[in-house]
Amino acid sequence: MFTLPPPTDGDAQITAEGTCDENPVVCHDTVEEFRALCWAIYAQPTEIVAQLDHETANVPRMILVLAMAHKYELGNMQEWVFDALQRIADVGNLLPCCKSWSNVQKLLNWLLNIKGRDKTRQLSAFISALEIAEQCGSDLRTFHGQAYYSHLKATGKFDLSPRNDSASTGIGSIFSFVADEPPPDLGESRRLRLYHGFWSLTQLRHRLDTAPPLDDNTQCNEHVTICQAGWTKWWKDFLYAVQKKKRIGDPGTLLLELQKRILVEPICSSPAAGEGSVAQVPCQAQIKTQVCAMKKQFDDTLADHFMIPVD
């Protein structure tokens, strides 16, 4: 999982992230998240047993472990944490043990993403998340948007997005979504938010079929020519590589994959006529920064797609 693919002959001149100590792979995990993962890997048996009792369990740390285990597909660790949290929840002490709303947000967000769970339980968790977010108002606005978004992902709504490029407006997706009407338990206002969010995110996904314009860089004399051309080609190759079998209809998933790829796959200029070598574009670092900012902006503005009030 943590092994990088070996460079090809054409990449001999390219220093990819992770190939040396001076150019490490950036995982974008916080110190607290990484510390929690290390604790889970090296925990003593007595520490593990302590997590089964609400009086001794460190629930905030366990929530971080759960998120990291899910991110890096550590199945056994994920199941262990979930079982431990479920035991604590059975005695009615989970919410106080979370210690903060941000931890409740992370836990509910993960629960909404569980695959293969009973649909009734899934809907119940979704409605509970909405009720908590609506009661807390702007304090949980980010989580409010995440709840709607996670529901769309968990129910496979983004798979309705048409592959035909001529359907650029996503009308077919909306018709399919409305035909598969959400449960009446949601209520009119929540249903409208869900529809609007799906429509808005579908439009965003269609815009990502074209490489986003690069930010200006007045210090680079080759920005408009070499850098832009290299970026456009890289984006086209990226879309082809990640969608060989199936189109990715979820813009968040596409941006997450983009963020991972941009850190290990350099953006190169096209070789000049008669030359077989390639080189990284001058604006390599700036493009990586811009891509990471795109993912952060998506996360920060997710609630806007669902028309979540600011106040």
CA torsion angle 276 277 280 281 (round to 10): -50
What share of the chain has pLDDT > 90, as a percent? Answer: 20
Percent of the chain with pLDDT over 70: 71
- With respect to residue 29, please indicate whether it lies within any of the assigned structural domains: yes
Most confident option among 57-71, 177-191, 241-255, 268-282: 241-255
- 268-275: average pLDDT: 62
Q: Which of 1-15, 171-185, 190-204 has the highest mean pLDDT?
A: 190-204
Average of pLDDT values for 203-222?
A: 89
58: in domain? yes
Residue bearing the bigger pLDDT, 104 or 191: 191
How many CA atoms, within 13 angstroms, populate the side-chain half-sphere of residue 130? Answer: 20
Q: Stretch 163-186: mean pLDDT, rounded?
A: 53
Residue 218 or 181, more confident: 218
What average pLDDT score do residues 130-155 get?
Answer: 85
Measured over the CA atoms of residue 98, residue 102, residue 105 and residue 106, the dihedral's sign is negative
Residues 220-240 pLDDT 10s: 888 888 888 889 999 999 999
- Lookup: tokens for 86: 């479920």
The neighbour count for residue 298, using CB atoms within 10 Å, is 19
Domain count, the chain: 2
Residue-level pLDDT at 14: 54
> Residue 170, by phi and psi: left (phi above 0), alpha (psi -120 to 50) or beta?
left
Interatomic CA distance for residues 58 and 50, integer angstroms = 9
pLDDT band at 164 (very low <50, low <70, confident <90, very high): very low
Per-residue pLDDT averaged across 134-160, rounded? Answer: 84
Q: How far apart are CA 237 and CA 163, in angstroms?
A: 17
How does the average pLDDT of the chain come out, rounded?
78
**Domain boundary at 82, 99, 116, which?**
99
Q: For position 78, what pLDDT does the model report?
A: 82
Pick 16 or 144 by higher pLDDT: 144
Residue pLDDT, tens place only, 82-135: 777 776 655 445 555 565 656 666 666 655 555 445 566 677 778 888 888 888
Asked whether residue 95 is domain-assigned, the answer is yes
**Is residue 102 a contact partner of residue 32, using CB atoms and an 8 Å limit?**
no
Query: Which DSSP string do the residues of 148-202 spell out, in sequence order?
Result: HHHHHHHTTGGGGS---TT-TT-HHHHHHHHHSPPPGGG-HHHHHHHHHHHHHHH
Beta bridge partners, 280, equal 268
Closest to 133 measured CA to CA, from 101, 94, 110: 101
Residue 186: which of 212, 215, 164, 155 has the closest Cα? 155
Phi first, then psi: give them for residue 214, nearest 5 degrees: -75, 150
Q: Does 198 map to a domain?
A: no
pLDDT value for 75: 82
Query: Residue 172: CB partners within 8 Å, gap ≥ 6?
Result: 160, 162, 164
The Cα–Cα gap between 182 and 190 comes to 10
Q: Which of 49, 71, 99 is the last residue of a domain?
A: 99
Residue 153 domain-assigned (yes or no) = no
Residue that is written with structure tokens 């509970």 in the block: 128
Q: Per the domain annotation, does 188 fall within a domain?
A: no
Cβ count near 173 (within 10 Å): 24
Average pLDDT over residues 251-274: 82
Containing domain of residue 15, as a range? 1-99
Q: How many CB atoms lie within 10 A of CB 6?
A: 7
Q: How confident is the model at residue 272 (pLDDT cuts 50, 70, 90)?
A: low
Rounded-to-integer distance, Cα 17 and Cα 285, Å:
11
Does pTM top 0.85 for this prediction? no
